[in-house]
């Protein structure tokens, strides 16, 4: 009793006998309910259920934090006075602090509108067939209403009061907000208009998200390696389904589940969005994936523990919202760190979308915490809607750009073949004309010596090895085929290198076109990322040749020895260091590497080190044979100027 009196002070609480019925002037006017009797029962008391507070409160009322728990049951009695006795009277509830049921004269009240659609039982219940078509099969059973949606309920004839019973712990500090009593034909247009404004826009937005989720999933089925599309589809699907289920007037399953799934859905969307973004920024590190997984496990564990214990639901909600807020802030930091590898407009759009989500979430948290009025509209749904649409624009542009680049590469390859033929013809004529001058003879001799040296060191050595193996009978048919394939690859690189004005980006594109089918046949998924800043980078022909031979040797080692499932090839410009970085990463079994030195038995790796030294580049090899995440990373760093 002392606790009840203390909590009643300063909250507008009056004695239970002081409730004032809503005034009813005539049959055409609407009366606003300003007071209600609130009864709070402790369902887990030492001697069973017990009343801990019974008083009249002003509306909107404020529910103390101590009563916003699973053990407390809140019940309101609203006196209607003469208004409820008028023919065709109805009760309008704008927003209620939890899923609720409404009774009058021991009869559950039926809705006049559901999702903005008027039902045919106004002002009295209709035939059983009409109710079944509306989705209500038992008019004697209580109906649980969604406290977030405005609802209009038909009052039975002669009703003097109604009882509103909460079915779960409140999701906001206000229990009852705005209640009005009056004729149905007066209240109905306003309620229908309000519901249609909320539901109509939300349904349209949810439909757009579900369509985008389906499109992203279909694209992912064609590009299974693109995890960005997969997790974007999950985020869009989760948030689209939230709009479908949480903007309905009725609650079709247990009220506590209904309320707990709301913050859980927020957490799922935030985690899926973070995962999609990490894959869009590049291949995420194991530490980043562990952070995202840890957030998801912590949130789900909190809800599971609360369900098993039968208490702590409010704490699980708070934890889910805090984790969602935290992972969004952390994701913004990851985007900022990768800003140099992203286009400026992509970085701005990603950060702006996440800032809008945080702002909308902060606004809604102020409502839930009681710092904003309970009648203020919620914005979190629209914040996530905006950021998901922004992500869709970025990913769509990325896919279109990638496809266009692939088409341009094919066109450029055909043009280069034609240009190569013409160039070879001109070179032949120039070689014949060069016989007229000593200087031209020297240039031709030098070029011939370079080609002979390259063919001797590369193609010749490979063919000689294959020949000796065949002569001794020590090579199988597949080994001979592999040796010949490597010789052919070396010949193609020599041909590519002979093209004057050849860029590294084109050399990499040619290599990918040749190796992509081979890697797929070997069961390797190729992850490819080339920094657009490297487009048009000109390097000397022998430098490009050494780089491509290092790449080819690294890929060959992965196919032959690594037992890997994925191969990641990336090249980017390290602006602070002023150098080109080429990385080859696999998830195979790893190898014994000491610092940057190859193993003594790795002849191919020593050749890679030798080629790196020839062009004054640094080659680093990092591998791990014992950790959970095995694999090898080979990094080539070459000082160049853009």
Dump pLDDT digits (tens) for 279-313. Answer: 888 888 999 999 999 999 999 999 999 989 888 88
Contact call for residues 303 and 320 (beta carbons, < 8 A): yes
Q: In the chain, pLDDT over 70 holds for what percent of residues?
A: 72
Place of tokens 């809503």: 22
Q: At what angle do helices 477-497 and 504-521 cross, to 10 degrees?
A: 160
Instruction: Calculate mean pLDDT across residues 347-365.
Output: 83
pLDDT of 212: 80
CA distances from 550 to 223, 545, 547, 601 (A): 28, 9, 5, 17
Residues with Cβ < 8 Å from 642, sequence gap 6 or more? 533, 537, 573
DSSP character at residue 623: E
Beta bridge partners of 114: 117
Helix axes 255-281, 380-434, angle to 10 degrees: 20
The alpha carbons of the chain give a radius of gyration, in whole angstroms, of 36
Q: What is the pLDDT of residues 463-472, one digit of tens each?
A: 665 665 566 6
Question: H-type helices in 370-473, by residue range?
Answer: 380-434, 438-454, 461-472
pLDDT tens, residue by residue, 477-530: 776 666 676 667 666 666 666 654 457 888 888 888 888 887 887 888 888 888
Give the DSSP letter of residue 110.
Answer: P
Both tokens of 276, joined, read 């999609």
Only one residue has tokens 């890679």, namely 608
- Residue 15 above 50 pLDDT? no
More confidently predicted of 319 and 340: 319
Sequence-ordered list of residues with C-beta below 8 angstroms from that of 265, at least 6 positions apart, any chain? 238, 239, 241, 242
Helix 438-454 / helix 477-497 crossing angle, nearest 10 deg: 150
- The model's pTM: 0.57
Neighbours of 443 (CB within 10 A): 14
**Residue 535: pLDDT over 50:** yes
pLDDT of residue 120: 38
* pLDDT at residue 614 is higher than 70: yes
How high is the mean pLDDT of the chain? 77
pLDDT in tens, 216-252: 888 788 778 888 888 888 888 888 888 777 777 888 8
Per-residue confidence (pLDDT) for residue 128, from 0 to 100: 45
Starting from the edge strand earliest in sequence, which strands make up the sheet with 525-530, in order? 525-530, 566-574, 579-586, 631-639, 618-624
Partners of 581 in the beta sheet?
572, 637
State the average pLDDT over residues 82-88.
70
Whether residue 320 has pLDDT greater than 80: yes
Mean pLDDT of 392-406: 66
**Helix/strand/coil for 508:** helix
Q: What number does CATH give the domain 2-183?
A: 2.60.120
pLDDT at 136 over 60: no
Give the H or E element holding residue 572: strand 566-574
CA distances from 570 to 93, 163, 228, 508, 567 (A): 59, 66, 17, 10, 10
The pLDDT assigned to 619 comes to 92
pLDDT at 115: 47
Query: What pLDDT score was predicted for residue 625?
Result: 65
Kindly give the pairing relationship between strand 179-183 and strand 89-93.
antiparallel
Closest CA to 588 of 618, 608, 568: 568
- Whether 118 shows a pLDDT value over 70: the answer reads no
For the domain covering 503-642, report its CATH number.
Answer: 3.30.565.10
**How far are the Cα atoms of 27, 271, 280, 334, 354 from residue 348, in angstroms, in the given order?**
57, 21, 15, 13, 10
Q: Is the peptide bond before 200 cis (omega within 30 degrees of 0)?
A: no
How far, in Å, CA of 263 to CA of 372, rounded? 19
Q: Which helix (H) or strand (E) holds 8?
A: helix 2-8
Residue 244's nearest CA partner among 410, 103, 381 is 381
Residue 6's pLDDT is 32
pLDDT of res. 11:
35
Contacts of 469 (CB under 8 A, 6+ apart): 475, 479, 480, 483
């Amino acid at each position: 009793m002392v606790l009840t009196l203390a909590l009643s002070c300063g909250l507008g609480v009056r004695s239970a006998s002081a409730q004032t019925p809503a005034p009813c002037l005539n049959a055409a006017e609407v009366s606003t309910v300003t007071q209600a009797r609130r009864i709070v029962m402790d369902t887990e008391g030492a001697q069973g259920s017990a009343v801990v507070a019974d008083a009249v409160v002003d509306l909107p009322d404020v529910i103390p934090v101590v009563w916003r728990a699973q053990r407390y049951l809140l019940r309101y009695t609203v006196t209607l006075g003469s208004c409820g006795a008028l023919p065709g009277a109805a009760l309008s509830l704008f927003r209620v602090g939890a899923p609720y049921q409404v009774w009058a004269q021991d009869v559950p009240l039926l809705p006049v509108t559901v999702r903005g659609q008027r039902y045919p039982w106004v002002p009295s219940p209709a035939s059983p067939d009409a109710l079944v078509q509306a989705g209500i099969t038992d008019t004697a059973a209580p109906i649980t209403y969604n406290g977030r949606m405005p609802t209009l309920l038909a009052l039975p004839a002669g009703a003097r009061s109604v009882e509103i019973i909460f079915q779960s712990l409140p999701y906001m500090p206000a229990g009852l907000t705005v209640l009005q009593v009056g004729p149905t034909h007066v209240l109905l247009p306003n309620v229908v208009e309000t519901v249609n404004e909320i539901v109509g826009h939300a349904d349209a937005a949810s439909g757009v998200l579900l369509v985008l989720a389906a499109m992203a999933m279909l694209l992912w089925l064609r590009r299974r390696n693109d995890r960005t599309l997969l997790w974007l589809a999950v985020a869009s699907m989760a948030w689209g389904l939230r709009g479908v289920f949480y903007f309905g007037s009725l609650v079709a399953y247990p009220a506590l589940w209904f309320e707990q799934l709301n913050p859980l859905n927020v957490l799922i969307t935030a985690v899926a969005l973070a995962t999609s973004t990490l894959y869009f920024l590049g291949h995420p590190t194991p530490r980043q994936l562990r952070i995202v997984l840890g957030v998801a496990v912590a949130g789900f564990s909190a809800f599971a523990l609360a369900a098993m214990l039968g208490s702590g639901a409010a704490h699980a909600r708070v934890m889910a919202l805090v984790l969602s807020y935290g992972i969004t802030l952390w994701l913004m930091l990851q985007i900022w760190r990768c800003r140099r590898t992203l286009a400026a407009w992509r970085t701005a759009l990603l950060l702006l979308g996440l800032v809008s989500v945080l702002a909308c979430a902060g606004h809604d948290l102020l409502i839930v915490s009681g710092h904003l009025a309970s009648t203020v509209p919620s914005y979190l749904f629209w914040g996530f809607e905006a950021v998901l649409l922004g992500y869709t624009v970025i990913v769509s542009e990325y896919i279109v750009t990638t496809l266009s680049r692939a088409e341009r590469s094919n066109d450029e390859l055909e043009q280069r073949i034609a240009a190569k033929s013409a160039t070879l013809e001109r070179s032949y004529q120039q070689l014949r004309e060069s016989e007229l001058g000593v200087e031209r003879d020297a240039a031709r001799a030098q070029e011939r010596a370079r080609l002979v040296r390259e063919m001797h060191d590369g193609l010749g050595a490979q063919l000689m090895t294959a020949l000796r193996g065949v002569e001794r009978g020590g090579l199988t048919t597949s080994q001979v085929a592999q040796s010949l394939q490597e010789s052919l690859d070396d010949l193609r690189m020599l041909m590519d290198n002979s093209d004057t004005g050849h860029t590294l980006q084109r050399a990499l594109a040619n290599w990918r076109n040749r190796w992509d089918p081979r890697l797929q046949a070997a069961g390797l998924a190729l992850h490819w990322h080339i920094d657009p800043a490297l487009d048009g980078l000109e390097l000397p022909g022998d430098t490009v040749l050494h780089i491509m031979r290092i790449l080819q040797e690294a890929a060959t080692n992965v196919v032959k020895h690594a037992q890997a499932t994925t191969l990641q090839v990336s090249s980017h410009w390290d602006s602070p260091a002023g150098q080109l970085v080429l990385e080859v990463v696999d998830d195979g079994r790893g190898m014994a590497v000491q610092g940057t030195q190859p193993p003594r038995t790795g002849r191919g790796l020593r050749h890679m080190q030798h080629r790196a030294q020839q062009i004054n580049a640094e080659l680093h090899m990092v591998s791990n044979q014992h950790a959970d995440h095995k694999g090898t990373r080979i990094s080539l760093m070459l000082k160049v100027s853009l």
